[in-house]
């Protein structure tokens, strides 16, 4: 979505990494799957880590070929150090916020310092696909877009044809969608719909 910033509108079918360690109740994929995917695609591998100690995964995901390492702001006491480690490893930094987490002064300082490439605003409680989009989170998206026109702002959770316009109007330029795409009779049609909505909101 160009929006105020001219950001390139894109729709990444990012790889979700919901490895356990108690941040979310379910285990899904890990670095070995990312590494296998890397061998077959040039696509952006945007790895959203829903893990308790994200610091432990910088090396494994770097070695696996991840492009974006997105960790949960709630899952570490050392966000600045982790941002620097991710960048030193040659990956982009994403910071994810659960619906109830608002950006605080420390997070704004990280973004202002240029340590954050993307903010992931979850519109569902993390862990499982197919949950209902929480419109109440949109003001957080809009505030981030207003304050940081150049920043990639990603929305994830319950995004589909019925909710994409709301997310795009709020300022999201990176969209994560699972159920809406994988359950669709024609997934490519849904992807085009999502991409068009983001581009039109620019
Ligand atoms: O994994 C999460 C959040 O933890 C899900 O939000 C998926 O990333 C997308 O799922 P859908 O809501 O699009 O089915």
Q: Is 94 in the pocket of ligand 1 (CB under 6 A)?
A: no
Q: How confident is the model at residue 16 (pLDDT cuts 50, 70, 90)?
A: low
Q: Is 98 in the pocket of ligand 1 (CB under 6 A)?
A: no
CB atoms within 10 A of CB 142: 15
Of 170, 120, 175, 174, which Cα lies nearest the Cα of 145? 170
- Segment 107-136, tens digit of pLDDT: 999 999 999 999 999 999 988 888 999 999
Report whether pLDDT(12) > 60.
no
pLDDT, mean over the chain: 89
Report how far residue 48's alpha carbon sits from residue 174's, in angstroms, rounded to the nearest whole number: 13
Atom of ligand 1 nearest to the CA of 123: 6
Q: What are phi and psi of 178, to 5 degrees?
A: -115, -75
Of 64, 114, 124, 123, which Cα lies nearest the Cα of 93? 114
pLDDT at residue 5 in the model: 33
Q: Is 158 in the pocket of ligand 1 (CB under 6 A)?
A: yes
Max CA separation in the chain (angstroms): 44
Rounded to two decimals, the pTM is 0.88
Q: Whose CA is nearest to atom 7 of ligand 1?
A: 129
């Amino acid at each position: 979505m160009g929006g105020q910033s001219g950001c390139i509108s894109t729709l990444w079918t990012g790889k979700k990494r919901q490895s356990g360690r108690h941040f979310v109740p379910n285990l899904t994929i890990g670095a070995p799957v990312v590494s296998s995917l890397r061998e077959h695609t040039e696509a952006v591998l945007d790895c959203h880590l829903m893990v308790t100690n994200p610091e432990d995964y910088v090396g494994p995901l770097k070695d696996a070929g991840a492009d974006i390492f997105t960790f949960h702001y709630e899952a570490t006491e050392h966000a600045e150090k982790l941002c620097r480690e991710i960048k030193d490893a040659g990956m982009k930094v994403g910071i994810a916020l659960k619906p109830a987490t608002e950006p605080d002064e420390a997070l704004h300082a990280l973004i202002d310092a240029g340590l954050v490439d993307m903010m992931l605003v979850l519109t569902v409680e993390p862990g499982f696909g197919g949950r209902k989009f929480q419109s109440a989170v949109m003001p957080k998206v809009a505030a981030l877009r207003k304050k940081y026109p150049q920043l990639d702002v990603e929305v994830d959770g319950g995004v589909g044809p019925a909710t994409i316009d709301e997310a795009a109007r709020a300022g999201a330029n990176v969209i994560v969608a699972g159920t809406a795409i994988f359950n669709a009779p024609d997934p490519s049609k849904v992807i085009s719909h999502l991409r068009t909505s983001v581009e039109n909101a620019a």
